[in-house]
Amino acid sequence: MAEISVKEKMAIERTKMPEQDALERSRNFKEVNLGLPLEWAVREAQRCLACKKRPCVDGCPVNVHIPEFLAKLADGDVAGAAQILRVDNALPATTGRVCPQEYQCEGQCLRGKKGQSVAIGWLERFVADWAAQNLAPDKAPAAQTGFRVAVIGSGPGGLTAAGELARAGHKVRVFEALHDTGGVLRYGIPEFRLPKRIVDQEVQNLRELGVEIETDVIVGRTLTLSEIREEYDAVFVANGAGLPMFLHVPGENLKGVYSANEYLTRANLMGAWMDDPCGTPIARGKRVVVFGGGNVAMDSVRTAKRLGADAAIIAYRRGKDEMPARKEEVKHAEEEGIEFHLLVAPLEILGDEKGWVRAVKLQKMELGEPDASGRRRPVAVEGSEFELACDVAVVALGTTANPLLTAAEPDLKLDKWGNILADENQSTSIPGVFAGGDIVRGGATVILAMGDGKCAAQSISEFLKGKTPKAPEKAA
């Protein structure tokens, strides 16, 4: 393809993502973004200026070689782009859909300084989806090290570590507590943002690399970390932070009150959103209030809308500019008719005579000086209390560490919040045990967990150098 000048590149406007109609999609669980046509993707890739300092790579927690894969795509070599992407990212179809690119790779893009950044996330999604349809998955390397590594948790951090370790020639087994794989990718992110077929495909790619996955294993109950260490040469702990945080206001024990964890798990993993009768039903409220302003809150309120709510409402104690949710998710929510009650804080959840939610009592807030988060602190407005009618309330304030694994391992050092302490190499206080993702960071993003998994895999390979593998797995 003929070389395109910088002037010509600068003249190309950023592409737009085709989407389902807002009214139509608010009534179904099909994916909102429909994907780019090939011609649009190639044209968008041609906007990349191939900066010498490569700020987009520095902005990516897994350090994808972004200029290289964009250059291949700009030339129409999608297969070449896919090969580059696969080397750096074990879950490209996932990150292309759920990564907060506007704060990371795209946020560092030079083109975004005086206009719109290159749509790196959409192009990553395009290449990954094309590869799934047109390329065979990578196979395990012929040269094997003989080392066996256990990965606890099949979320984004665990899957990334497993892929990196398998590519390095180690034998990898993933232990997952739930009955299906993917962790938060499957139970936490709705179908309309991340279809389960994408999770299935990316997990299958890892199986093709030789990764073994065992479900229904709760480490700390079914097995202990100590028992796993006896059999494996190294361990990566990525079991997430699945203990939900609550409001600590009166009425939280009423019927119709959910944590976002339970609400989304019922809908995403247990099929409670399907029309067929389900063994794990979910309350389909007509007026649903979701407390929070992050991505999980957006996922919850948009799920409520799709479950038939006449009014699906976000109640957030700060303003729209302070919301941590992705801008695209907020935009999609507004288009779908989600109501935003901003600068309000919950005081109480009110119930009827049968113990069901009937309303929430809120207090208006105003913004004061910035707090430790850098955002302006909400301050209560005296005498501004009011009631907002609802029949379901969902609390989406974040999560804390699940203590099942750590409570059984007294030698594993924790911070004051119960998260595992790990250094810059993801090493913990126990030699040969590494940790990353939400169990170390607290609540974080998918891509940050993946970055930890990639770092841990490299550290594990370094740790195993010069050592002798343990005895092979015992026969079943």
pTM summary value: 0.93
Q: What is the pLDDT of residue 1?
A: 57
| One-letter-per-residue 3-state SS of 164-207 | HHHHCCCEEEEECCCCCCCCHHHHCCCCCCCCHHHHHHHHHHHH
Q: Is CATH 1.10.1060.10 what the domain over 6-134 is classified as, yes or no?
A: yes
Q: Is CATH 3.50.50.60 what the domain over 246-395 is classified as, yes or no?
A: yes
Mean pLDDT per 10-residue segment, the chain (476 residues): 81 95 96 97 96 93 95 96 93 94 92 93 97 92 93 96 96 96 94 95 95 95 94 96 91 96 90 72 92 96 96 96 93 97 97 97 93 86 96 94 89 94 97 95 88 97 93 51
Let me know if the fold of 148-242+399-464 is the same as that of 246-395.
yes
Q: Which CATH class is domain 148-242+399-464?
A: alpha beta
Q: What is the pLDDT of residue 38?
A: 97
Q: What is the pLDDT of residue 387?
A: 97
* 3-class secondary structure, 293: coil
User: How would you classify residue 210: left for phi > 0, otherwise alpha for psi between -120 and 50, otherwise beta?
Assistant: left
- Sequence spans of domains, the chain: 6-134, 148-242+399-464, 246-395
What is d(CA 151, CA 160) in angstroms, rounded to the nearest whole number? Answer: 10
- Angle of helix 66-74 versus helix 120-134 axis, rounded to 10: 70
